[in-house]
Structure 1
């Protein structure tokens, strides 16, 4: 990333005088305000990343998953259909790769937020509410759902990622929303206005002046400090980050905060295309401005008219363009997704789901999964996902690296070497894809490898009260003892073996189970069990220092410092 000329912050005289003369109590209140904004930002990135993952898991991967694909047919008409379906699978794989790329970059944005929390002197914040999230609890005042791939899902994603200056139709008004889910969208929303950076910064300054003067209402304060349960103050992600960037820069330049935890700034490349230059001690202001700018450029493409190629907005717009052409070109009905239900869950509880506390929505907000194999697989997924959150908290909370050898402390190395490449790619993704091929209903009767009429999906549930901050902090915090991690790996291995046996007993097969490679449910769950066992052994070896893995060289991971 090229360095930008950083603008000077010019406060109005009354605000300048106030900021220069804050007492200790007022400084703490201001820091807490920034902390609340960072929690909103990290929550938003986390929600979007998981939402995009779910949609990518729901995509078809094999031509056998189309009901009209007949392998080995000699009929010319059928061969034409087969060729179309095989070509469509390749197109779907490109869409999947692009959605996964967007999800990875959202995780990179989450990393930036963890770095900003470190600068503020706070611990990582990796909590986010369980799906579905009501419109009142999300910065864009729209509900956040787990949605299978469809034109409406991509339209909604495009809306998330649009620059505020760009007029894009509100997905609230779109067709294609399942009937039972429409109540989630039938909440009055503010009409979006074109984004004006100067006007938004002025609004942020006015807010800050009112904040120091104690002129804000309790409702306004609640919207900042408790957005999940008290509605949200912001109309867009761009507005949220503009407030956040401005307040952090003010806090640093006026020495309300000095900038802390230089050693905790994660600057290594682990698949998220982090391209910020290595942080130099004392350049915290530059880092804040670079980080926020990169978040907005990669996501909304805010500085381009039209938005820049490669931005998340452009990725989703391109997929929509492809979708509109495909059915016309092929002449065949085209559904790129498996019949995965919206917002699957095996248990909806009042203290686990914000939506449960809105009587008009709770009965229609989710799809209950009753199939016991699917429920067990979803529980395994959630156990793995929660463990990953704990490991990431340990990584970001205790991160440091020897700048000459590229070696991290033992426990940090254990988190890094487990949570990222092996866990995300060898557990979260394949398990999520398997669950999207398992039946939603206990009444399902297997018919060879035919896709069920309704498929389940991971619900990404964090099994903790959404209203108890002490419980939340404990849930996302890393374990202190190695034994706790090893116990989880053993538990997940056991569940994977149970799932392997259950799929054999019930005769559950994937649609492509007749392929020579036989990547069927039972085989896949067997591999997963082996992965858990191997990861547990490796985690122990890294934790104890029996294995040491320095950061890879520039040629392998594009790390910005030439270690090794």
Structure 2
């Protein structure tokens, strides 16, 4: 299994390992984490579990469709939040030796970025699978979330999500959020649990959904899985899975082989198993999971820092907002005029991506070709536009009151209701209009000598607008009588 971790960085020289991985035969060896983690904690710190330290968490109480929808909404928010956290860390990475790193260090940074990108893609898959389950039980897609930082007022006290630049603190925080169920692990500095939570009582009728105390991603999803099984026992499978399968994301359009429609308890359980295995590992085997990948990146990062204590892989970014959000008390506002314009394009791109995804999941009347266009547009917005815009933004200054610091995208949520465009023709016209506007603004920004890359982004937006215009023209030519 040690070789599996090293394959993540196979293009780089091998580094000394600081921890022992479990044997591939599953003999119950204790998988210690990198030196210094949580004052010597390791995966066997949890008591009452099996040889891999997997202590069972108390079960969640899910006895109504409303509670199930509530928890699935939390799951979607969690996947969405993790996705943004990982993108922020990726965008914060330095891009050239001109930023104060050696060629060898830059090669390591690039390898870490590839590993993070792999995790990001799987988080997108997880959000799609969770949305499929929501759709399958008759609920609407849930792409809204609180603005960052997301503290304990929204989730159980020890579940906090914030935007942190790449480094030891970020990696330890990622490991904490993705840790296997039952593993005793402390969060990174500054992320300690705040307050306590009172779980629902046994006599709670659950006529409306409400918060429950879960501690890991796996704990939440296992509770959802048991809740689905309970409802199937009570009502029967056909009365639980009532949503349309053709309103779900599938492999045929999104090209993830694991992405299938949820139509039964078995297919829902399969979707949950994929999410949990990719995140925390297959019931104890965490080496190839998100948790294991972050363990491997952290080990490699610490080795480079030991060789060069001055090594800083990330730009001096801080999350910045264009406007004060209503749900966060203290934020940093962008002062630099050019940075504000680029951040506005980033936020608009993020918002229109959510609008395209929402339209895909609440579509009505679109042809298969039109649905494929929506899916490809959402993917290309992430892979082409946001992946280019993010590093551009993190190279720009915040402003004179934050000298030496650069702008990290805050993934601003303006109004969640704006994501859903329910009327087909109006939705397509609004999306086309947004892409045309974004193309025009990007072309103007490309005139700045430091933002030449905006020209390609403008070309991408023009292509998206052209694709939508083609469908609108074809539909308008079809007789309505």
What TM-score range do you get, normalising by the shorter chain? 0.7 to 0.9
1:392 to 333, 357, 363: 357
2:200 maps to 1:210: no
Task: Name the counterpart of 2:167.
Answer: 150
Task: Name the counterpart of 1:561.
Answer: none
Is contact 1:127-1:476 (8 Å) kept? no
2:390 to 432, 444, 465: 432
- Structure 2: give runs of 5+ residues left out of the alignment: 1-61, 476-481
Is contact 2:355-2:418 (8 Å) kept? no
Q: Structure 1's 43 and 409: CA in aligned 2 closer, same or farther, altered over 3 A?
A: same
Task: Name the counterpart of 1:535.
Answer: 464
Q: Structure 1's 64 and 39: CA in aligned 2 closer, same or farther, altered over 3 A?
A: same
Deviation at 1:136, TM superposition (A): 2.6
Task: Name the counterpart of 1:416.
Answer: 375
Mapping of residues 55-454 of structure 1, within 5 Å: 55-66=89-100, 85-139=102-156, 141-171=158-188, 174=189, 182=190, 185=192, 187-188=194-195, 210-212=203-205, 224-225=209-210, 233-255=213-235, 257-260=239-242, 261-268=244-251, 273-275=256-258, 284-301=264-281, 303-304=283-284, 307-329=285-307, 331=308, 333-341=310-318, 343-349=319-325, 351=326, 353=327, 355-356=328-329, 362=330, 366-398=331-363, 409-420=368-379, 422-442=380-400, 453-454=404-405
SS in 2 for 1:136: coil
- Structure 1: give runs of 5+ residues left out of the alignment: 1-26, 70-84, 175-181, 191-202, 215-220, 357-361, 402-407, 445-451, 465-471, 510-520, 547-564
SS in 2 for 1:335: coil
Q: What root-mean-square deviation, in Å, do the aligned CA atoms of Structure 1 and Structure 2 show? A: 2.9
Q: TM-score, normalised by structure 2?
A: 0.77
How far does the alpha carbon of each residue in 1:371-390 deviate from its partner, in whole angstroms, 9 at most, with x for none?
A: 11111111111111111101
Q: Quick one: distance in 2 between partners of 1:311 and 1:484?
A: 39
Q: Quick one: distance in 2 between partners of 1:147 and 1:314?
A: 19
Q: Quick one: distance in 2 between partners of 1:413 and 1:543?
A: 15
Q: Structure 1's 301 and 279: CA in aligned 2 closer, same or farther, altered over 3 A?
A: same
2:404 maps to 1:456: no
Q: Structure 1's 487 and 265: CA in aligned 2 closer, same or farther, altered over 3 A?
A: closer
How far does the alpha carbon of each residue in 1:329-383 deviate from its partner, in whole angstroms, 9 at most, with x for none?
A: 3x46211101111x3222213x2x2x32xxxxx3xxx332211111111111111
Q: Quick one: distance in 1 between partners of 2:258 and 2:201?
A: 32
Task: Name the counterpart of 1:36.
Answer: 70
In the alignment of these two chains, the number of paired residues is 409
Larger radius of gyration: 1
SS in 2 for 1:457: strand
Is contact 2:363-2:422 (8 Å) kept? no
Q: Which moved more, 1:478-487 or 1:283-292?
A: 478-487
Deviation at 1:189, TM superposition (A): 6.2
